[in-house]
Structure 1
Amino acid sequence: MSSSSPPKRLRKHSQNEFISLMISSKRLPSTSYHQITDLNLSNLQLIQIDSFPFEHLPKLVSLDLSYNQLTVINPDWSKAKENFIEKLNVSHNKLETLLFLRDFKHLKSLNITENLLRNNERFLSLQLCPTLEQLTDANRNQIDDDQLKLDQWLQIIETKIDRLWAMSYYDKYKQELPNEKNQQVVKKLIEDFRHATIKIIERQPDFNQAHLSPLANYLITKKIDELCSSPPKLQAKKSFKTHLTAEFNDVMDIKTHFEPIKFLRCHQASENDLTTVSVRMGLFEPNTTQNIFATCGGQKVCFIDCDICEVTHLYEVAALRSTTMATPARKLRDKSGTTSNEHFSCLCWLEIADGKENHKVLAVGATNGHIYLLSHKHKLMFGHIELPASSINCLTWESSNPSILIIGSYHTVRFLNIQCHLDRFLSFIRKQNKPIAQFDYVETAAANNKLSSNHVYYFDNGDDSVLSVTDLLCYPSTKENMLLLVGTTSGLFVIHEQTPIRLTFPQSMCTVGEHIESIRLVDGHPRLVAMNILGLDQICCFDLEQSLPPHQQLHMSLSLPNPYRQIPTKMAVCSTNNEKENNNTSFECILGSDHGSYFYHQIRMNVHNKKTRKASFDNKRYEITWPQVKTSSAPSLLSACLNETYLCLTTSNNLICIYKRK
């Protein structure tokens, strides 16, 4: 039931007088009054609201206060224990804060168009009203952009602010609190902490003038109250990060701490040159209990057994000679004869089904446009593909069709059919298992190293600027349909219905130059994709299905803080779900920097809750203790790779850093 518009003779009354008159005049029977669901109080020239009788409107779910002159709404304007408002319209007023929403636990739709609010007030309202689904400002739904800002705010509050309190204030506070004579000291200590907190927040580009926001000050006060609670209460809050005792820190570090076990150098050009080779990339062999780690750097490809921390097999591009002692070396000369200045740049694992057995092979790309297919198990190179006038930047493959290798080179993406090489490889395996079978592998002249491309896609900015493909990710949208995400130095694209389409970033998100470093699908949460951007101090996670055409704009779900990076690094993402977390999905994310450290993130989300802002985070920065190197500065981390047992990092100075979960 909706209320009728108020008579004109009552329009100059205050809102409270109007409600009282409405009740006393018995314009509506009391029984009917309690059935009101929608109430329109617009255009009443209201200036201030001190209180509101929500207790007399138990079924009220929609309230319209638009087109008034409201400058103040008392944060305690609801005297009832709880209101059930789902839709609130306060547009076209003169409000400066949304603090009055702090008791609105059921609010789904909020219209704040044409007020005097700061940006901080708008996105912080999502923290007050976690049920909010639509936030309209200037006739646009801003909730996606504001959610991204809120995630950034919460990360600052729960990492930097917690750390500041633990390191500089908690011991003093604990010492002074029991002495009643020192309450002024305690008060000044908390006030100093408040000012320090605001300074930290305001140093972030999106949160300037936080001290002028009543809502920001309220949330900061609430945070300080939590920090000042007793230690037992703090320790009982598992989602609340503290640094109270060494024992508590040890408990918090169980799942996130890695112990370095070995630093390897195996890609150097000579024994006299140990530090100038960059190990571009590394990947664990997929879907196996063995911890085989493949790396590429300089003119070598190495297979490393992390369990024993030793190189088990090595290939060299100069003459493509296998240095394995178990089998005779095989050579396949590069006709160009100009490989000395080229290097391996990227790799990917492929899985090939052969009856009941799955074979793992490695595709490695080089900057001279050559691709090599290697088998670690059988210790051989069985394929050589040559793409003239190309430099291979990235590789991936279709799991539904392993014969298709997808190649990123300069500003193009190629779909290449390598079935002839795979057939020769399977023929070799059958020959090993059944000696009577025929096999033509030794006759390398029969292999065709120049294959035609099934599809070639070109990417550009629409102007004369240069664009390069940086990373590829296959996404199985359906069992029959495979989408391809393409990261470039100028944004993110998706190949949709055989057409490259750019996925734009939210307007509120400063993306520096949109140079995508790497994109990773989050296992256990099939629609979530993690993406890191060169020069941006955060990792962005977006919901892919809500970002695909017809939307064509990235739907940001959450963000993770990360250091400013000058050199592109490949990110690692690993699912950490277990049987005890059947209602949750959790994953780890690791990204290195060019400052001799890496950042670790662990994220836990409720899979049944569509609002990923319910996620909880653990974030830690690890300094790497480097072995003695000739260079004066710490090396840059070029890639990270993570599985259930090990973390492996590759560097710009020929180091492979192997860590084990503690």
Structure 2
Amino acid sequence: MSSTSPTKRLRKHSQNEFISLMISSKRLPSSSYSQITDLNLSNLQLIKIDSFPFEVLPKLVSLDLSYNQLMSINSDWSKSHENFVEKLNISHNKLETLIFLKDFKHIKQINITENLLGNNEKFLSLHLCPTIEHVIDSNCDTIEDNQLKLDQWLQIIETKIDRLWSMSYYDKYKQESSNDKNGHIVKKLLDDFHHAMVKIFEKQSNFSQIHLSPLANYLIGNKINELCLSLPKVQTRKTLKTYLTSDFNDLMNIKPNFEPVKFLRCHHTSDNDLTSISVRMSAFEPNVSNHLLATCGGQKICFLDCDTSEVTHLYEVSSLRSTTMPIGRKIKDKNERPNTEYFSCLCWIEIQYEKEPLHVLAVGATNGHIYLLSHKWKIMFGHIELPNSSIACLTWHASDPSTLVIGSYHSVRFLNIQSYIDRLGSFIRKKTSPAAQFDYIDSTAFVNKISSTQVYNFDNGDDSIIHITDLFFYSLSKHNIPLLVGTSSGLFVIQNQTPMRLTFPKSMCTVGEYIESIRLVDSQSHLIAINILGFDQICCFDLEQTLPNQQLHIVLTLPNPYRQIATKIAVCLTNNENDLMPTMSFECIVGSDHGSFYCHQSRMNQVNRKIKKPLFDNKRYEIVWPQVKNVTPPSILSASLNDNYLCLTTNNNLICIYKRK
């Protein structure tokens, strides 16, 4: 209720005192205050609220209970009548729980500053009231951090808790609920399950001491009731399905997104020694419908047609000689290991050239050499040597196709390769038809050692070693194109010629910050995904909101299997043209150390670029490996995804091609 004149202000104060008194005595006149929209009950020394007359305040949208001595609010204080409160201020009280919000269906903003609330109460309030858009705590909006913790909570509920129930408690509860007339055994069983749930949560640092949270125990109780109610009421037939959860039955009716097409060994044809050959990376040719895939590993670069599952062409270097060692006479050692240098990374670019675009593939090797290839013209037209380097990752500049960016050891280098692009154009003009096989153009006129136009060195500020792991350009605008740099010690950004570290939110506790890969999720929402070695989540963050304060603005997280070997993830945005509400949906594929891969499907409603209620569908796919004699299943090193195919590469020379159903 708003007021302007002194008389109205006095009347408002009197109303507040009267309402406060009537709340405690439960004698509020039913015909009063039907037009009040804003009600201020602050500084009235209120200690507790047992009930509240929402039924006589039908238009109340803002309620201020701040600066009181509130120690408790009855959890059913609004149960008797629906309220329409959108803004609630309970700051500067002595409240320990937020369970009393459970019947607030319209609340959008809540101020909880200066109370006795635990961290668990704060983020779980978003689950209790999904309409909340702002949580004010200590005079700042903390909904992002709270939303991140809630996502982690929901993922544990959907994966570990449901699995624990179906495997260890479902059958016991079903049997005892029909035999235990007094319910003592059932109560003990559910108490045990409750305790087991709490232990699972408290293994995570974000959910420590959750057994002390009234709101957490309330929601856990709701989850247990939900699981119990999911049991079939009447067992008409005793079949296998009656002993499985409804979630499992639903899963059995879901067809996999991908079906295996073929397993290839093209980087090494012998089965005798597969452990020394790893297919490091794969990538689909951009913006074409022929589904051409390039792979690199060992001393070979292979081009595969996924429609036919056959190798169309390959490029091979008989010996990738290291440039990090001096070249000279050397006594041959019979026990010397064979050449251990290999092709390590690759990336495509589409260059506009005259009437049709050119697709160029850049491939880097651990000996510091970079090769430029054209599949259409079957030529290797560029060979660049970076002495004393080992190429870990490559990318092309987002706005300048003549600039190739290299990640090597702790340095990022920008190379101008316009002379090689011109060389390819000259070759195309002279040829009327493609060569039958790969040719190498005479390079006497070209120097393969070219200088770097820009070099950036990264360090931790101490003696620890840092390595570049991945590179990714993102165009925020025409003149603002930052470069994200993944390293073994965190995520950096190069913007305005100065490398800066992007820190993780304080609410996130990571084992380490070894960034495995950086992938674009959605350009409109500036959403970027990163996966971290040894961390059990894939983090998706808004780059635009991250840059101002140099802290990752985490929007959502996806469950991620623990791995000991770094894996490059694949992300593909999916269309939702029939949706009534703006949505963003994408698939994320990540490999495992144990012969399997995970497919994460995420669907999020968007309102004013704000993501609401993300939905997750996470599936684990076991791979039936053909003719693998090793006891230990191979590890997935990379995943590539487009609208029709999924390709996985492994550390035992296999290329696994899957087709989307």
TM-score of the pair, normalised by structure 2: 0.86
- Residue type at the aligned position of 1:376: H
Q: Distance in 1 between matches of 2:351 and 2:212?
A: 61
Q: Is the 8 A contact 1:54 1:79 kept in 2?
A: no
| 1:78–1:477 Cα change, 3 Å | same
Give the Å deviation of 1:425: 1.3
Classify 1:16/1:49 alpha carbon distance in 2 versus 1 (closer, same or farther; 3 Å).
Answer: farther
Query: Where does the alignment leave 5 or more consecutive residues of structure 1 unmatched?
Result: 234-241, 322-333
CA contact (8 A) 2:407 2:468 kept: yes
Residues 412 and 268 (structure 1 numbering): CA distance in 2 closer, same or farther, change over 3 Å? same
Q: Out of 467-476 and 216-225, give the one that drifted further.
A: 216-225
- The structural deviation recorded for 1:360 is 1.5
1:213 paired residue number: 213
1:569 maps onto 2:552 in alignment: no
The answer to whether the 8 A contact 2:320-2:341 is kept is no
What residue is the counterpart of 1:358 in the other structure? 357
Q: How does 1:26-425 map to 2 (within 5 A)?
A: 33-79=33-79, 81-170=81-170, 190-229=190-229, 243-244=245-246, 248-252=250-254, 254=255, 256-268=256-268, 272-318=272-318, 340-425=339-424
Say if 1:403 and 1:118 are closer, same or farther in 2 by CA, change over 3 A. Answer: same
Q: Deviations over 1:173-216 (max 9, x none)?
A: 56676789586666555444434333333333322333332211
Instruction: Tell me if structure 2 keeps the 8 A contact 1:398–1:482.
Output: no
**Which structure 2 segments of 5+ residues have no match?**
4-8, 234-243, 331-337
Q: Partners in 1 of 2:489 and 2:420 — Cα distance?
A: 34
Q: Deviations over 1:353-410 (max 9, x none)?
A: 1233222221001112111011222222111111222211111113432212111122
The Cα shift of 1:58 comes to 3.2
Counterparts of 1:348 and 1:282, CA distance in 2: 9
Return the match for 1:556 from 554, 564, 572.
554
Partner Cα separation in structure 1 for residue 641 and residue 600 of structure 2? 12
Deviation at 1:525, TM superposition (A): 4.9
Tell me the alpha carbon deviations over residues 414-445 of structure 1, each in whole angstroms, 9 at most, x when there is no partner: 2222111112112222222389xxxx984321
Aligned to 1:238: none
Q: Is the 8 A contact 1:352 1:402 kept in 2?
A: yes
- What is the deviation of 1:161? 2.3
* 1:84 aligned counterpart, secondary structure: coil
1:130 Cα shift?
2.1
Using a 3 Å threshold, how does the CA distance of structure 1 residues 270 and 181 change in structure 2: closer, same or farther? closer
**Partner secondary structure for residue 97 of structure 1:** coil
Counterpart-to-counterpart distance in 2, 1:450 and 1:264 = 35
Cα distance change, pair 43–316 in 1 and its aligned pair in 2 (3 A) = same
Equivalent AA in structure 2 for residue 529 of structure 1: I
Q: Residues 117 and 6 (structure 1 numbering): CA distance in 2 closer, same or farther, change over 3 Å?
A: farther
Equivalent residue letter for 1:249: L
Contact 2:281–2:295 under 8 Å retained in 1: yes
What SS is found at the alignment partner of 1:69?
A: coil
Q: 1:108 to 1:11 in 2, by over 3 A?
A: closer
Partner amino acid, structure 2, of 1:259: E
Deviation at 1:496, TM superposition (A): 1.7
Q: How does 1:429-440 map to 2 (within 5 A)?
A: 429-433=428-432
Contact map agreement 1:524 1:575 (CA 8 A) in 2: no
For 1:528-547, list aligned pairs within 5 A: 528-547=527-546
**Retained in 2: the 8 A contact 1:86–1:106?**
yes
Map Cα deviations across residues 535-556 of structure 1 (whole Å, 9 max, x no partner). Answer: 11111111111112x2321111
* Distance in 2 between residues matched to 1:348 and 1:518, nearest whole Å: 13
Q: What is the identity, as a one-letter code, of the residue corresponding to 2:276?
A: T
Residue by residue over 1:50-71, the C-alpha shift from the partner in whole angstroms, topping out at 9 and shown as x without a partner, is: 1112233333333222232222
Q: CA shift at 1:125, angstroms?
A: 0.5
Q: TM-score, normalised by structure 1?
A: 0.86
Distance 2:182 2:42 in 1: 52
Give the match's secondary structure for 2:544: coil
Task: Give how far 1:243 is off.
Answer: 4.8
Query: Once the 2 structures are TM-superposed, how far is the Cα of residue 99 of structure 1 from its aligned partner?
Result: 0.6
**Paired residue secondary structure (1:405):** strand
- Indicate if the aligned counterparts of 1:457 and 1:500 stay in contact, CA closer than 8 A: yes
CA change 1:13–1:355 in 2 (3 A) is same
Other-structure match for 2:616? 617
- Percent identity of paired positions between Structure 1 and Structure 2: 67
Deviation at 1:268, TM superposition (A): 3.5
C-alpha displacement of 1:626: 2.8
Residues of 2 paired with 1:248 and 1:392: CA distance?
46
Instruction: Provide the secondary structure at the position in 2 that maps to 1:289.
Output: coil
Q: CA deviation at 1:613?
A: 4.1
Q: Are the counterparts in 2 of residues 268 and 275 from structure 1 also a CA contact under 8 Å?
A: no
Pairwise CA distance, 1:482: 2.3
Deviation, 1:294, is 1.3
Classify 1:579/1:115 alpha carbon distance in 2 versus 1 (closer, same or farther; 3 Å).
closer
- Tell me if structure 2 keeps the 8 A contact 1:93–1:115: yes
Deviation of 1:171 after TM superposition, in Å, equals 5.2
1:169 Cα deviation from its structure 2 partner: 4.3
Residue 606 of structure 1: aligned partner: 605
**Partner-residue secondary structure (3-state), 1:402:** coil
Deviation at 1:249? 2.4
Q: Deviations for 1:106-158, whole angstroms, at most 9, x for unmatched residues?
A: 32322222322221111101112223232233343322111111000011112
Structural RMSD (CA): 3.4
- The Cα offsets for residues 283-314 of structure 1, whole Å up to 9 and x where unpaired, read as 12222222222111122211222233332222
Counterpart-to-counterpart distance in 2, 1:598 and 1:8: 64
1:638 partner SS: strand
2:395–2:472 Cα contact (<8 Å) kept = yes
- Say if 1:269 and 1:5 are closer, same or farther in 2 by CA, change over 3 A: farther
Give me the whole-angstrom Cα distance separating, in 1, the residues matched to 2:42 and 2:119: 24
Structure-2 change in CA distance of 1:150 and 1:477 (3 Å): same
Residue pair 2:398, 2:481 contacting (<8 A) in 1 also:
no
Contact between 2:516 and 2:530, CA under 8 Å: does it hold in 1?
yes
1:556-589 Cα shifts (integer Å, max 9, x gaps): 1111111222221111111221433473221111
8 A contact 2:298–2:341 mirrored in 1:
yes
One-letter identity of the residue aligned with 1:596: G
**Partner Cα separation in structure 2 for residue 9 and residue 423 of structure 1:** 84
**Contact 1:52 1:79 survives alignment (8 Å):** no
Instruction: Indicate the residue corresponding to 1:592 in structure 2.
Output: 591
- Relative distance call for 1:578 and 1:282 in structure 2 (3 A) is same
Provide the rounded CA distance (Å) in 2 between the counterparts of 1:460 and 1:377: 41
